[in-house]
Structure 1
Amino acid sequence: MNLLVNATSVGTGALTGIERFGLRISQELCRIDPTVRIVGMQDIPGVPNVTKPRLLDFGKRLLTRKEYLLRAVWDQTVFRYQAIKSRADVVFFPIQDGMLRPPMSQIVTVHDLHYRHFDRNIAECKDEISGLRKAIYRIKMPQILSNSAAVVAVSDTTKRDLVDTFGVSIDKIHVVYNGYDEERFRVIGEPDGVLRRYGLLRGRYFLFVGSILRHKNLDRLVQALGQLDGEICLVVAGVCKDASYLHQVKDTVRSLGLSPERIRFQSYVPDQDLPYLYNGALALVLPSLHEGFGVPLVEAMACGTPVITSNTSAMPEVAGNAALFVEPCSVESIAGGLREIAADSGLRDRLRMRGFERAKMFRWSSSARRLYSLCQSVCAQGAS
């Protein structure tokens, strides 16, 4: 099987959950089969012989992840040419994209459809995605899905969304979960040295990990923390992807009279530091309005960190019995979850032990093997 992977989304610096999926799946596929070829904009750690198309200036603009029209053109032209040139049997897109008319069997990945939801939980987030990106997505995605041999969804929740939103045949959709880095995300006996650099004390802060976007529901989390007495603070570890929303959240902080010590915006946290922040946290709090998966849930569980998360979309599917669930649209519910975790050490211990077991379900090696098997099946169908 001649398998080609489009890893042009794997950029530099802080990676989103979707970009990390592309990175780790590419690495694991190459371990399974060294003949797998990866197309990228730059060298990728753990991936030998990345094919880097020319037009580097064009590619560098794509790495800003802002020029969606250019990315769409890239996939339909430069990557398409590369796929034909390499005589690929199967091409795989780990990002939420694909070729409109693939000249060979194509497998695409859908991570979430949160901005396609119109229920009361998501309506306020409809403007999160730019008008240009919406237009491109609305026009091309149905055709990409229709012309793909198979579709990968990162959760059963996303699988159901695909059926409901685009009418994709349920037999065409295959669930391949995200994973976590087992060497990095683990129990660390002495995290205090790293915590001191951030001015933090173990067990004295709640942790939020994720991009700062409206559907992450950070404003309600801030309001919930404002209802708690005491010195427990909230650490926000996430890159801002929506400046207007970050401004709104900071306005909320000011209006509640919360000091900078209570709400700490850490922006980008280096990969090597994040496991220490998990280990020192009282709990991870992920009260999103919608998630296609929710990678921080698994990372926290692997570190032995209790989890508070929403009772909607993929979060119950991923966290199982290893989390305290709250209603994301209710500030009171979120605040109640924070209080319960802070006050009940027995609950924290139970969630910690359940989390260790739950995290074992989500390993990149297992996900890559499942994906590779799907690629083989698609290749065999194309050859018949």
Structure 2
Amino acid sequence: MNIGIDIRPMMTSPRTGVGEYTFELLDAVFKIDQNNQYFLYYNASKQTSTNLPTWNQPNVHYVITHYPNKLFNSAIKLLSRPRLDKIISKKCNLTNGLDCFYSPNLNFVSLSSKTKYILTIHDLSFEFFPEFFSKKQILWHGAVNPKKQCQRADTILAPSENTKRDIMNYYKIEEKKIKVIYPGLSPIFNSINNEQLSTNKESVKQKYNLPNHYILFLGTIEPRKNIVGLIEAFEKVYSNLPIPHHLIIAGANGWSNKEIFNRAAYSPIKDHIKFIGYINSEDKPALYSNASLFIYPSFYEGFGFPALEAMAMGAPVITSNRSSLLEVAGDAAYLINPLQTNSIIQAILDILNKPELRARLIKKGRERAQLFSWEKAAKEWITTITN
């Protein structure tokens, strides 16, 4: 088969969560499948290929166009041109064209009617919580028209049953058209040995100037992650902690986050709240492993990678009792109501004061993390695409 893939989600630097998802999935697919031909498409008016990974397999081909992005997106929106499958076929001399085209995320896409379209929808947060998005983002989603894309798609992939239900209920898409493929855990969390981890823990501690005891949040700094609520809970619980802790907030800057930074800057315990910015993938295992606990009190997630990563590295996890986080966590995390500060406070106190609970969550978390594999996800993806 000739399979086109939109790799534009990997063009941002640093990579977003969707960019990481795209990379890990494709990397696993290309290690397994040497038969199908893959055509990786991206558009860039400037040189951005340095942001993209390089796969050297003989069945993997890169296809680039250099249209100005605004003009390119507008043409697709208003004229349904250019057709991406036609571009790929012409540039690669494909006599029979593409059999299908896969988009790992929403984007401006136009295809010939004969080309099958497979689309991943990660979540519908932009529909349910527009207040958490900038005006520019809201306009972008309106222009992309997610509902129309779901109607056009031959198959929709969802990372969780929760996202599948949301697509069915909100966009009225029939169930048989949607397939759940759970994402995997990056190999970086499985391949590191104890000796290397021990060395990395010390170097990461020095690199980010970390305290001996800290509670960790890792995710994009944006309103949907409920970081303001976390800061408020930390302020109230701080004086009751068995030993002093810092709140470490890690992750790339998102949008509409001025309130988050202001809330921390004017906190009465601001000296114990620290933002350390974007974390390189190789530093994440040690960062999680050093933490007394990991907390992810998000209002809504399509999957929730950080909770799973923290479990893999032996950090007891606190996360929200809503959206897909219930699926990811199972019985391996302490579930809280993200709207209730007291719920977050109690969870922190219980984990830090109850060694048996802490040990149980660590054990169950490690076991839970092993259930999610990119190899498994890649095999399911290949079966879905080729069928």
Across the two proteins, how many residue pairs are aligned to each other?
361
Question: Does the CA-based 8 Å contact 1:83-1:91 persist in structure 2?
Answer: no
The normalised TM-score by structure 2 is 0.85
The normalised TM-score by structure 1 is 0.86
Matched, 1:99 2:109: yes
Question: Does the CA-based 8 Å contact 2:289-2:313 persist in structure 1?
Answer: yes
What does residue range 119-268 of structure 1 map to in structure 2 within 5 Å? 122=129, 124-125=131-132, 130-137=137-144, 140-184=145-189, 188-190=197-199, 191-202=201-212, 204-227=213-236, 228-229=238-239, 231-242=244-255, 244-245=256-257, 247-260=258-271, 262-268=272-278
Of 363, 378, 382, the residue aligned with 1:372 is: 382
The farther-off stretch of 91-100 and 40-49 is 40-49
Gaps of 5+ in 2: 44-48
Gaps of 5+ in 1: 378-384
The whole-number CA distance in structure 2 between the counterparts of 1:309 and 1:241 is 20
Matched with 1:382 is none
How far did residue 36 of structure 1 move?
2.5
The farther-off stretch of 73-82 and 85-94 is 73-82
Using a 3 Å threshold, how does the CA distance of structure 1 residues 310 and 38 change in structure 2: closer, same or farther? same
Q: Give 2:248's aligned amino acid.
A: V
Identity of aligned residues (%): 26
The whole-number CA distance in structure 2 between the counterparts of 1:338 and 1:157 is 26
Of 21, 24, 38, the residue aligned with 2:40 is: 38
Question: Does the CA-based 8 Å contact 2:76-2:108 persist in structure 1?
Answer: no
What does residue range 299-310 of structure 1 map to in structure 2 within 5 Å? 299-310=309-320
What does residue range 354-369 of structure 1 map to in structure 2 within 5 Å? 354-369=364-379
- The DSSP-based 3-state class of the residue aligned with 1:335 is helix
The farther-off stretch of 277-286 and 126-135 is 126-135
Q: Cα RMSD between the aligned structures? A: 2.6
Q: Give 1:355's aligned amino acid.
A: G
The farther-off stretch of 271-280 and 151-160 is 271-280
How far did residue 29 of structure 1 move?
1.8
The whole-number CA distance in structure 2 between the counterparts of 1:78 and 1:258 is 55
- The DSSP-based 3-state class of the residue aligned with 2:64 is coil
- The DSSP-based 3-state class of the residue aligned with 2:123 is coil
How far did residue 307 of structure 1 move?
0.7
The C-alpha deviation readout for 1:165-215, integer Å capped at 9, x for no partner, is 10010011000112121234556334123212222245x111111111111
How far did residue 161 of structure 1 move?
0.2
Of 299, 310, 327, the residue aligned with 1:289 is: 299
- The DSSP-based 3-state class of the residue aligned with 2:198 is coil
- The DSSP-based 3-state class of the residue aligned with 2:274 is strand
